[in-house]
Amino acid sequence: MKIKLNGKEIEADGGKSLLDTCRENGINVPTLCYHASLFPEARCRVCLVEMDGKLVTSCSTKPREGASIITNNEHVLKARRLNMELMVPQPSCKKEDDLEVCGIYEEVGMRTARFASIKEYKPDLGAAVIRDNNKCINCGRCVRVCADIQGVYAIDFASRAHNEHVTPYSEKHLADVACIRCGQCILNCPVGAISERSHIEEVVAALDDNEKHVVAQVAPSIRAALGELFGMPAGTLVTGKTVAALRRCGFDKVFDVDLGADITIMEEASELLRRVEKNGVLPMITTCCPGWILMMEFFYHGLIENMSTCKSPHEMLGMLIKTYYAKKAGIDPKKIVVVSIMPCTAKKFESTRPEMESGVDYVLTTRELARLVKMRKVDFATLPDEEFDPALGISTGAGVIFGATGGVMEAALRTAHFLATGKELEKLEVAEIRGMKGIKEGKITLNGKEIRFACAHGGANARKLMERKDDYHFIEVMACPGGCIGGGGQPIYRDPDTLRKRTEALYSADRSSKLRRSHQNPVVKQIYKEMLGAPLSEKAEELLHTHYVKRDRF
Amino acid sequence: MQILRQTKLEALEKARSLGSDGVLALLEKRGLEGRGGAAFSTAKKWRGSRDAPADERFIVCNADEGEPGTFKDKFIIRHNAETMIEGILIAAYTVGAKRCFIYLRGEYDYLRPRLEGQIADVLARAKMEGVTIEIVRGAGAYICGEATALLQSIQGFRGTSMYKPPNPTTCGLWGKPTVINNVETLTCAAQAVLFEDWNNSLRLFSLSGNIKNAGVYEFPLGVRMSTVIDVARPARKLKAMSFGCFGGIMPVDENMQITPEAVCRENCHHGAYSVIFIDEGNNVVDVSYSIAKFYTYESCGKCTPCREGTIRMLNLLKKIRSGKGVKKDLQTLRELAVHIQETALCGLGQTCGNHVLTSMEHFPKDYEYYLKKNEAGESKEKK
């Protein structure tokens, strides 16, 4: 159909929203409650445009034949501005926060506030994710992401009119409800009302304590995302700079969680083969993702036997740091402080699980690490590339791809094939479980036995996959869309292509690795030789495996 | 009163003999329009639902009469519920629906036991295969009288309004075509089908406020205001009237003939003809303040202008009434009222500024009274 857009006649698709039509024609319309992968709710009323003289929300309105759309006259701008004024009475934009809402202040030309704030809420200081409703503007993106993308439904709106606010049921704290701590709400909050519970203070105190031997271990997905917080384009690999920055911040040793991932693979692949051979409970489901573990513990009590008993990679490495490394380096384990640098808020919860003896003392998210680096006045961009400390710093490409959805599965298949057949897998890259499709599946033959596998990312996809779990032998679940590269602790991104770029960076790191199979890692071999014996040995079970509990939803 | 005429299942029988198309043609001929306020053609609405492709359709009778000063639906349910239920069955027959709902205002729950008995009785006698009527009790939110919020509530969600399109007529309960009609409309539908002498111009008026004879009356459209006032019997001279809360506040003109057009000329809206009379003893700003309080409490909180705007309007009115208001506050108040009207999501938001705009237009002196109080106070301080 033909419409007039700001006076110019254009051909428009009547099935698309005005917002999409405007953006396709290079006209920017500010949005707040709109989220590309969610059904539009039209609650913030910031994306207003004029259609035939009447104000309409462009996200929820489709064009009429011959309609005249105006996006930038004073009528429109004034209405957008007033809605912003009402929503955010006291604009406070610090440059370092880089909040999405600040960009919209500028777009609508808002400077001062005319209305006093009316919000008086107590902040919700949860164990991993904290919320401050006084900053909240009720855009509802957190609510919809939690429900529609994560399938968790931990938060919703309560009360009416100006008292409407986001809350877990019954005004409880997030820490006391069925919240999986994935932190997707943080990534989608335009005003920074939700954030991780920071461990920076504790880490700084440990760094400044000369008695302590502070060790950092860096998760695979950090290297593909940290650069974004220092002005680099998405998908820039900053492995070497990350290591250098951590040393400048005062960490005594910097280890690579990829090594933990390699050990996880040794254990997990062996566990899979044991279950297949001895008719154990199948499908076996991966447990690298603490968000998914919580989801299972809250919503899928029947799956507890299906979960692999392997700890997640950083927990495995944490234990090895406090045992293997402590013994080798001759340091009292009590003096070692292990700090995990993670893309994840749920890891903060994981390291406090009473069911699991944890070697990890503190967890910093990618965002917190960037803050720490800035606090310590380290100029990240000009740092040289440095190597991980070799004691526990040699890793394989198989460990790197843990950060992307399907990566754990792919790495496990590479090793399982070798362990089962004694021969290396010829086709190293498993194309069918790469990419951003919600649920991916494939099959492989091991010793004449067909192994069917599937992986899901995003809680809602996981829920779908669990409905037909019995079709498979091996399932990988990552709670966050895209896997860890899209984790709740990662830099907040606005370009939907970001996840793909971060993933590509990890795969390129795998391609350029000399070693691409976990079982070929010389440090892994050494650890098994010197301490653990073999995968699933008694010692390995003691240090590297755990169990799960059934949690009440209410 | 025409609304009390009972159809005794003869209307349903006639509808069956006319067939679905016959009923729609008849209602079109009679000119029945929705009596909830929007005055949309009932035949058109029913046809829209009937012809939308779907495997299931629903009828909802909106008995969530929450507008302040409106109590005509309660009157009908108390005195002629059988005819209303018959109207629901005629709608179900015409549209091809099986499940019907009556969304009953929470405060009307005391009417429920009797209504349930009447439903069972009518259903038993009507012998309509598979048709059920469920009563859903509202929980007290004004917004749930709004069609989309009402549907959310029936489905078990929070009562918040949704944007249209899609319209409930084609995509309502559980995504299926749903006819939502007001109690009065459905009652009239049954009567319009049966009675040849049915008069389309009669409307139920709920009269209340500073009058002695508050209650429900039937007047034809175009009735003179003086006639209504004679019935209402105010104690003092009347100054203003408000159609519900949302319609706006306008002066009382004894010679005015009450028609939708005449009301619109005063920038007000007739809604469901619930007239609240305000006499000389009141300042209209005080009335406006009470109405603002109502909206500040009843907004669903979904869209920004209504959620944040209603409380700001209330605060400004509070400031003006306390004698601390300045001219600029009136400007801001007007700006907010217009803004909410223009940008809010649903009917509630789009009308919740009416009382401010119309009272400013028709009764500027009442605002000046409070502003002068402030000036007097200021000059005293200077002395």
CATH number of B284-382: 1.20.1440.230
Per-domain residue ranges for chain B?
Answer: 2-194, 202-279, 284-382
Query: A322, A338 in Cβ contact below 8 A?
Result: yes
Residues A455 and A516 in one domain: yes
CA dihedral for B112, B115, B121, B126, sign (positive or negative): negative
Residue at a domain's end among A54, A78, A108:
A108
Q: What distance lies between CA B355 and its chain's CA centroid?
A: 15
CA B342 to chain A, closest CA, distance in angstroms equals 6
Choose, from A50, A85, A196, A271, the residue flagged as catalytic: A271
CA distance B273 to B218: 10
CA B325 to chain A, closest CA, distance in angstroms equals 15
CA dihedral for B275, B280, B283, B285, sign (positive or negative): positive
Q: What are phi and psi of A122, to 5 degrees?
A: -85, 135
Residue A393 pLDDT: 85
Residues A227 and A103 in one domain: no
Domain that holds residue A151: 124-196
Q: What are phi and psi of B215, to 5 degrees?
A: 160, -175
Length of chain A (residues): 554
Residues A282 and A356 in one domain: yes
Residue B21 pLDDT: 96
Q: Tell me if residue A202 is catalytic.
A: no
Residues with Cβ within 8 Å of B257's Cβ and at least 6 positions away in sequence, in order, are: B222, B223, B224, B225
Contact state of A164 with B307 under an 8 Å Cβ cutoff: yes
CATH code assigned at A66: 3.10.20.740
- List residues bridging with B219 in a β-sheet: B203
- The nearest alpha carbon in chain B to A164 belongs to B301
Contact state of A42 with B303 under an 8 Å Cβ cutoff: yes
Length of chain B (residues): 383
Residues A181 and A329 in one domain: no
Residues A96 and A135 in one domain: no
Residues A281 and A165 in one domain: no
Among candidates A45, A157, A163 on the partner chain, residue whose Cβ is nearest the Cβ of B304: A45
Q: What is the pLDDT of residues B128-169, one digit of tens each?
A: 889 999 999 998 899 999 999 999 999 999 999 999 888 999
CA distance B132 to B128: 9
CATH code assigned at A148: 3.30.70.20
Residues A190 and A160 in one domain: yes
- List residues bridging with B203 in a β-sheet: B219
Contact state of A86 with B335 under an 8 Å Cβ cutoff: no
Residue percentage of chain B with pLDDT more than 70: 98
Query: B160, B301 in Cβ contact below 8 A?
Result: yes
User: What are the distances in angstroms from CA A255 to CA A176, A197, A320, A341?
Assistant: 34, 24, 11, 10
Contact state of A86 with B301 under an 8 Å Cβ cutoff: no
Contact state of B343 with A45 under an 8 Å Cβ cutoff: yes
Contact state of A164 with B300 under an 8 Å Cβ cutoff: yes
The DSSP letter of residue A530 is I
B2-194: CATH, from 3.40.50.1100, 3.40.50.11540, 1.10.443.10, 3.40.50.150: 3.40.50.11540
List chain B residues with CB under 8 Å of A162. Answer: 296, 299, 301, 307-308, 310-311
List chain A residues with CB under 8 Å of B336. Answer: 82
Residues A253 and A283 in one domain: yes
Choose from A18, A31, A43 for mutation: most chain B CBs within 10 A.
A43
DSSP per-residue codes, B204-258: EEEEEESBS--EEEEEETTEEHHHHHHHH-BSS-EEEEEETTTS-EEE--TT-EE
Residues lower than pLDDT 70 in chain B = 377-383
Residue A258 pLDDT: 93
Q: Identify whether A502 is part of a domain.
A: yes
Among candidates A45, A114, A115 on the partner chain, residue whose Cβ is nearest the Cβ of B305: A45
Residues with Cβ within 8 Å of B297's Cβ and at least 6 positions away in sequence, in order, are: A160, A161
- The nearest alpha carbon in chain B to A140 belongs to B302
Choose, from A350, A368, A441, A476, the residue flagged as catalytic: A350
CA distance A251 to A48: 50
Q: Tell me if residue A484 is catalytic.
A: yes
Task: Write out the two tokens for A140.
Answer: 């509802």
DSSP per-residue codes, B153-178: HHTTS------SSSPTTTS-GGGS-E
User: What are the distances in angstroms from CA A325 to CA A213, A256, A321, A330, A518?
Assistant: 12, 13, 5, 8, 19
Residue B377 pLDDT: 67
Query: A308, A295 in Cβ contact below 8 A?
Result: no
Choose from A32, A44, A45 for mutation: most chain B CBs within 10 A.
A45
Choose, from A9, A106, A355, A530, the residue flagged as catalytic: A355
Single-letter amino acid code for the residue at A145: V
- Cα pseudo-dihedral A487, A491, A495, A499, rounded to 10: -40
Q: Identify whether A117 is part of a domain.
A: no
Residues A70 and A29 in one domain: yes
Q: Identify whether A116 is part of a domain.
A: no
Residue B382 pLDDT: 53
Contact state of B342 with A87 under an 8 Å Cβ cutoff: no
Residues with Cβ within 8 Å of A16's Cβ and at least 6 positions away in sequence, in order, are: A24, A62
Contact state of B308 with A82 under an 8 Å Cβ cutoff: no
List chain B residues with CB under 8 Å of A137. Answer: 304
User: What are the distances in angstroms from CA A396 to CA A319, A400, A416, A425?
Assistant: 20, 7, 15, 15
Locus of tokens 């039937």: B218
Q: What are phi and psi of A345, to 5 degrees?
A: -90, -25
- List residues bridging with A475 in a β-sheet: A285, A454
Q: Identify whether A552 is part of a domain.
A: no
Among candidates A41, A54, A161 on the partner chain, residue whose Cβ is nearest the Cβ of B307: A161
What SS3 class is residue B120?
Answer: helix
CA distance A159 to A144: 17
Q: What is the pLDDT of residues B34-88, one digit of tens each?
A: 998 888 999 999 999 999 999 999 999 999 998 999 999 999 999 999 999 999 9
Residues A30 and A79 in one domain: yes
Q: Identify whether A203 is part of a domain.
A: no
**Total domains present in chain A:** 3
Q: What is the ipTM of this complex?
A: 0.88
User: In this structure, which topology does domain B202-279 adopt according to CATH?
Assistant: Ubiquitin-like (UB roll) (3.10.20)
CA distance B8 to B294: 40
Task: Report the first-to-last Cα separation within chain A, whole angstroms.
Answer: 52
Choose from A50, A74, A162, A191 for mutation: most chain B CBs within 10 A.
A162
Per-residue pLDDT of chain A (554 residues; tens, 9 = 90+): 899 999 999 999 989 999 999 999 999 999 999 988 888 999 999 999 999 999 999 999 999 999 999 999 999 999 999 999 898 877 677 777 778 888 888 888 877 778 888 888 888 887 789 999 998 999 999 999 999 999 999 999 999 999 999 999 989 999 899 999 999 999 999 999 999 999 999 999 999 999 999 999 999 999 999 999 999 999 999 999 999 999 999 999 999 999 999 999 999 999 999 999 899 998 999 999 999 999 999 999 999 999 999 999 999 999 999 999 999 999 999 999 999 999 999 999 999 888 888 889 999 999 999 999 999 999 999 999 999 998 888 889 998 999 999 999 999 999 999 998 888 888 888 888 898 999 999 999 888 889 999 999 999 999 999 999 999 999 999 999 999 999 999 999 988 899 999 999 999 999 998 899 999 999 999 999 999 999 999 999 999 999 999 999 88
Among candidates A42, A46, A138 on the partner chain, residue whose Cβ is nearest the Cβ of B345: A42
Closest CA to B60 of B121, B150, B131, B125: B150
Residues A57 and A163 in one domain: no
What SS3 class is residue A49?
Answer: strand
Contact state of B332 with A114 under an 8 Å Cβ cutoff: yes
CA distance A50 to B342: 11
Closest CA to B313 of B282, B343, B292, B288: B292
Query: B366, B181 in Cβ contact below 8 A?
Result: no
Residues A480 and A540 in one domain: yes
Q: Tell me if residue A268 is catalytic.
A: yes
Give the number of A-B residue pairs with CB atoms closer than 8 Å.
86
Query: A418, A521 in Cβ contact below 8 A?
Result: no
What SS3 class is residue A362?
Answer: strand
Q: What are phi and psi of B60, to 5 degrees?
A: -125, 125
Q: Identify whether A265 is part of a domain.
A: yes
Q: Tell me if residue A139 is catalytic.
A: no
- List residues bridging with B55 in a β-sheet: none
CATH code assigned at A257: 3.40.50.1780
Q: Identify whether A201 is part of a domain.
A: no
- The nearest alpha carbon in chain B to A80 belongs to B343
- The nearest alpha carbon in chain A to B165 belongs to A61
